[in-house]
Structure 1
Amino acid sequence: MHNIEPYSGWLKYYDSASDILSPFYGKEYNYDLYSDTIYGYYIDPGWDYIGSETLYVKMLFVDYDHGYAVLEFIGEWNDAVHNDVMFLKRNLVDEIQLEGVNKYILIGENVLNFHGSDDSYYEEWLEDVEDGWIVGIGFRDFVIDEMNNYNVDGYINFGGPLEITNWRTLKPMTLCQRVDELVMRRLGM
């Protein structure tokens, strides 16, 4: 897992360590020292800790004016034992939501497993976005299936035209606008 790096191609557009509104503002990354682990496996120092032992994140892009956030994940999304959605909601989402973010693109290519529990934090999150949305792209089919078993799909939009496999080839605002259009079309707006 140590060789799975968060996507760095958008650093010229956004860097969470340089964003004064980011929970990771001022963080210094030491790429010579691997200290964070998931189940005893070291992960790349570029990932950010949100309070969970099993799930780490990278804020790839945030546009406060338009309300967009693109978040990439690594690890096991474990709500059953570690209540990862609570850590995500309280330590990251609540912070940037105060600054106007209400549209979330969650990139789950490196989410290796999901263990569900109740859906109260997902419900709270969706209520908080009001006119916004939450979209998951790149999640593995078996992870989506498990999330669906816990009704997470009632809060996070997955699949169909939202499955944008070439997201890395797009500029961040282009990805956000494309997802926004697809969600609005899906919702019939």
Structure 2
Amino acid sequence: MHEIEPYYRWLNFYNSAEDARSPYHGKEYNYDMYSDTIYGYYIDPAWDYLGSETLYNKLLFVDYEKGTAVIELMGEWNDAINNDIMHFKRNIIEHMMREGISKFILIGESVFNFHGSDDEYYSEWFEEVEDSDNFSEPGWIAGVNFPDFIKDELSNYNIDLYINLGGELDVVNWRTMAPKRFCEFVDGLIQRRLN
């Protein structure tokens, strides 16, 4: 598990530790010391703690002008025991929404398991980003490249009512795109779905 790194080739475009509006502003990373674990397995020190024992994230890119954030996730998403969505929403998402972010792209390739519970936090998040009174335009939540069995589990708990998943959102080549281009690409896919 320690070999799974968050995508780092966009660091020239965005670094959450250097972004004064980021929840991770000022964080110092020691890439030689592995201290965070999931179920006793060390994880790469570049992952950021979001309040959960089993789910970590990395803010890969934020475009405040367009109101878009790209967040990579890693670990086990466990709403049943740890209420991970509560931690994620309260500690990361709400911070970003206060900064004007209404479009969230979640990269789920490194989510290994999902244990669902109720959908209240997802519903709340969805309603908040859709509310155009809070933002310049209504937002959305997109899940990119989640494994099929995770998408099935999310669907079993009706989370797919709030997070757009699957189909063209399984963007195999997202790493070959510049971050703004990737955000525009996903926005285009979502707009097509909404229309």
Q: Please, what TM-score do these two structures have when normalized by structure 2? A: 0.96
2: CA distance, partners of 1:122 / 1:187: 18
Contact preservation (8 Å) 2:47, 2:56? yes
Moved over 3 A (4+): none
Gaps of at least 5 residues in structure 2 are 131-137
Q: Deviations over 1:115-172 (max 9, x none)?
A: 0000000001001102111000111000110010000000000111121110000000
2: CA distance, partners of 1:43 / 1:117: 26
Match of 1:186 among 171, 175, 193: 193
1:80 has 2:80 as partner? yes
Matched with 1:172 is 179
Percent of aligned positions that are identical: 63
Matched with 2:118 is 118
1:25 has 2:25 as partner? yes
Q: Deviations over 1:39-58 (max 9, x none)?
A: 00000000000110000000
When the two chains are superposed, the root-mean-square deviation of aligned CA atoms in Å is 0.5
Cα deviation for residue 25 of structure 1 reads 0.3
1:155 has 2:174 as partner? no
Gaps of at least 5 residues in structure 1 are none
2: CA distance, partners of 1:127 / 1:147: 18
The residue type equivalent to 1:158 in the other structure is L
2: CA distance, partners of 1:32 / 1:187: 45
2: CA distance, partners of 1:59 / 1:29: 14
1: CA distance, partners of 2:6 / 2:51: 18
